[in-house]
Amino acid sequence: MPIFNPDTKAMQYVRNDRGTPLKLDNNYCRYILDNKGLMLVDQQLAVDKRTRLYVKKMAKSQDYFFKEFARAITVLSENNLLTGTKGEIRKQCYLANKH
């Protein structure tokens, strides 16, 4: 399998974790449990008593992580999808496109 090596001059990106930065796995769950998450919302998942157990289970089990990740993406994809002129694909995730 080819290794993805992005051109850092062509785009900006942030590595979610240092252990497996370009791989989808449960390593990020371990990072947020160690208070090393990239985003505040992720850190909140690790400390909130309603969600911490799930983060711990995902950090412990790659299979559980994949199962729950797939379920979450399915729910998100079915939730109020904006089409046509009602939505936009952002050129930079953190900024709305200029019109």
Does the pTM surpass 0.85? The reply is no
Instruction: Tell me if residue 64 falls in helix, strand or coil.
Output: helix
Identify the pLDDT of residue 89: 78
Is 25 a known ligand-binding residue?
Answer: yes
DSSP bridge pairs for 92: 95
DSSP conformational letter for 77? H
95 φ, ψ (degrees, to nearest 5): -130, 140
On whether 83 is known to bind a ligand per the annotation, the reply is: no
Task: Please tell me the number of Cα atoms within 13 Å of 88 on its side-chain side.
Answer: 10
17 is in an annotated binding site: yes
pLDDT along the chain (99 residues), means of 10: 62 70 88 89 92 96 96 84 78 76
Contact by Cβ (8 Å): 37, 46:
yes
User: Which residue pairs from 22-27 have beta carbons closer than 8 angstroms and sit at least 24 positions apart in sequence?
Assistant: 24/69, 25/62, 25/65, 26/58, 26/59, 26/60, 26/61, 26/62, 26/64, 26/65, 26/66
| pLDDT value, residue 88 | 78
